[in-house]
Structure 1
Amino acid sequence: MRYLTAGESHGPQLTLIIEGLPSRLPFSKEKIDTELARRQKGYGRGRRMQIESDQVQILSGIRFEKTTGAPVALAIENKDWVKWVEIMRPDTDPGQAEKRRVARPRPGHADLNGAIKYGHRDMRDVLERSSARETAARVAAGAVAKQVLEHCGIRVASHVVRIGSVATERIDLNGWTAETIAEKSEASPVRCLDPEAEQAMIRVIDEAKEEGDSLGGVVEVVVENVPVGLGSHVHYDRKLDARIAQAIVSINAFKGAEIGIGFEAGERKGSQVHDEILWSEERGFHRATNRLGGFEGGMTTGEPLVVRGVMKPIPTLYKPLQSVDIDTKEPFAASIERSDNCAVPAASVVAENVVAWEVAKALLETFSSDKAEDLLREVERHRNEVKGF
């Protein structure tokens, strides 16, 4: 299973093509629209979210509300396009486009690197595609992947564990399920499970906004009821934890990923890191703890997957940083584009869907997937075999 996206931030639409879905999988447009709406919420979002109201258009691959096995093509309209037609259409007049030409790179963005790499004197050709607007298409892909996972009884949820200087304690998954995490985080404007930390997060977001500054944070994704053995130990590029880490860091503004206790493992002794193996008639092999976040040797253990990602503060500031004009080489205060001052709550939704995609992809690699009923049958057969191993 794979996908490609196309489209610019101020172009007419985002386009998504997904290949490799099994046929006869129940397919819900409403579930995709729900994920797109979740991505647009969250305390600290900017004015773009007041313009867009994302809904997906199904172009191919679905009939009678089920997949056919053919590639699925989806589109998400950019409502802001009407204000940018003369600048962004394929046959734009160069003189017209000059009015909105970008020659001043913004620190922290792809502007300058992309312009040098691709030879653009108008950096709009970089910033339009490098915009986080593209994550709407990635969330749509994840929403499709979630329908694959739900078909096999696998649930995904996310929440925010840090915004700026405010952080929550690690949750004990023995007291939480993916369902309860989802319910609690959806009820919070910052997607935080801790009411006290939630209010403190809102305060620091407000303070940063007053100062013309921005905040980053840390999000956590939990995947429940994952079969044992997704991924592989035999090659670096088949290790599922590595693939998930790459996917997390590929999200706009994300600068790091960790599995389970992650970097904290470097501070502990081995006896405080590794998960002891237990066996029971009811559960078969399982772990006494889940410090390694559901992975050993690049493969899933059957315990919940726990993945964290760190998002840097958004680089578009209302107290601009210094930069250099690519034409005059003169210094200037970086221009201000419409932006959020904190997008961490929304980023947790993006991370959730990115992880869902990687897990669903690994699931379809491991089990027969020409038809949805074959996929479910193979997963259930495997689960029964694991219990009796």
Structure 2
Amino acid sequence: MRYLTAGESHGKQLTTIIEGVPAKMTLHRDEINESLLRRQKGYGRGRRMQIETDLVEITSGVRHGETLGSPISLVITNDDYRHWESIMGEDPISEDTKLRRVVTKPRPGHADLNGALKYGHRDMRNVLERSSARETAARVAAGAVAKILLRQLGIEVCGYVKEIRGIIAGEKNQFTIQEKQELSEQSPVRTLDKQVEKQMMDAIDEAKKAGDSIGGVAEVVVEGMPAGIGSYVHYDRKLDGRIAGSVMSINAFKGVEFGIGFEAAEKFGSEVHDEILWNKERGYYRASNRLGGFEGGMTTGMPIIVKGVMKPIPTLYKPLQSVDIDSKEPFHASIERSDSCAVPAAAVVMEHVVAFELARAITEQFSSDHFPTLKREITQYRDRIRNF
């Protein structure tokens, strides 16, 4: 499985093309829309979420509720495009009109300046339109298809907020993954810990009042993945490495860890590694899960636990120092519309990019042309490793 996205933040539409989804898999548009609407929720979001209602149109690869095995194309129309057509339209315009619309002032923390240097754009709108986090809607659409595939194989994925600006949610390991899914949906900040929910919301309000932004930590947990998915043979087939790369590719993410992650640096080996046990019902399992469900680039069969660190988003009401690329004069960059905290929404994005990497690994490792065959092979594999 692989996917490609296209589209600009204020362009006509976002497009996702997914290749490699097995044929004869049940796929309904409503399930994809559910994921897209979840991405738009979250305390601290800006006005853009009220302007756009992200709903998908499936334009190929699905017939009568089942996948065909051919590429699936998904389209999300930008409702606000009518106000941007003169700015973002594909047809040529006069030089005088073009000059009046040029963006020459790069915003600190964004791709504006680096993208302009790389591609030679004097008008940095050519950079900021594509580098915008709006593109994550297209990635969530791809991840939604992956989540549907995983769910039909008995694998569940859940993303939620672990921390916002130093306010840390308590461990909630007593909850089932279904309960975690429900709790995160009920929370405005997508946390499982009701005791810190209000503190997180107050921190977001304080940042917004100060014209600033705050970041945090999102966590994704996956249950039902069998052991041995991924590979130790080549560096680029290690599944935890792929997942880490996918999380780091989300806008504003700056760190990834599995299980206890960086905390392992402070501990003895005896306090880090997970002892191996066996019984007839479960087969091989671990006494603990400090490594977050991975050993040697492969799944252990324990829940996958991955955290992603999101920096405060750089689009601020509070001005920051920058330089106009044409005049070379200093100026203070500021913006009128922004999220003060996007961590709750980013948890949804992270959930979906992780899901896609898991689905991709499964379709690489097992027969994936025909979904009923894939499902049968997964069942046989689970039986084999349980009785190994």
Q: Distance in 1 between matches of 2:113 and 2:336?
A: 16
Q: Is the 8 A contact 2:253 2:310 kept in 1?
A: yes
Letter of the 1:313 counterpart? P
Residue 100 of structure 1: CA displacement? 2.6
Q: Report SS of the residue matched to 2:341.
A: coil
Q: Does 1:103 align with 2:104?
A: yes
**TM-score after normalising by structure 1:** 0.98
Structure 2, gaps ≥5 residues long: none
Q: Distance in 2 between matches of 1:380 and 1:295?
A: 21
Q: Is the 8 A contact 2:160 2:192 kept in 1?
A: yes
Q: Is the 8 A contact 1:177 1:224 kept in 2?
A: no
Q: Report SS of the residue matched to 1:158.
A: strand
Deviation string 1:248-282 (CA, Å, 9 cap, x unpaired) is: 00000001100111111111111111000000111
Letter of the 1:43 counterpart? Y
Q: Does 1:2 align with 2:2?
A: yes
Q: Report SS of the residue matched to 1:350.
A: helix
Q: Distance in 1 between matches of 2:98 and 2:9?
A: 16
Q: Distance in 2 between matches of 1:381 and 1:176?
A: 29
Letter of the 1:60 counterpart? S
Q: Is the 8 A contact 1:156 1:223 kept in 2?
A: yes
Q: Distance in 1 between matches of 2:99 and 2:91?
A: 14
Alignment of structure 1 residues 1-389 onto 2, 5 Å: 1-93=1-93, 94-172=95-173, 175-336=174-335, 338-389=337-388
Q: Is the 8 A contact 2:317 2:338 kept in 1?
A: no
Moved over 2 A (4+): 94-100, 169-172
Letter of the 1:356 counterpart? A
Deviation string 1:195-251 (CA, Å, 9 cap, x unpaired) is: 121110000000111100000000000010001111000111000000000000000
**TM-score after normalising by structure 2:** 0.98
Percent of pairs with identical residues: 63
Q: Distance in 1 between matches of 2:179 and 2:171?
A: 15
Q: Is the 8 A contact 2:172 2:192 kept in 1?
A: no
Q: Distance in 2 between matches of 1:350 and 1:17?
A: 17
Q: Distance in 2 between matches of 1:158 and 1:57?
A: 25
Letter of the 2:283 counterpart? G
Structure 1, gaps ≥5 residues long: none
Q: Distance in 1 between matches of 2:246 and 2:61?
A: 25
Deviation string 1:2-27 (CA, Å, 9 cap, x unpaired) is: 00000000100001100001000000
Residue 99 of structure 1: CA displacement? 2.7
Q: Is the 8 A contact 1:86 1:96 kept in 2?
A: no
Q: Distance in 1 between matches of 2:323 and 2:230?
A: 46
Letter of the 1:149 counterpart? L
Letter of the 2:163 counterpart? R
Residue 337 of structure 1: CA displacement? 5.0
Q: Report SS of the residue matched to 1:205.
A: helix
Q: Report SS of the residue matched to 2:75.
A: strand
Q: Is the 8 A contact 1:8 1:14 kept in 2?
A: yes
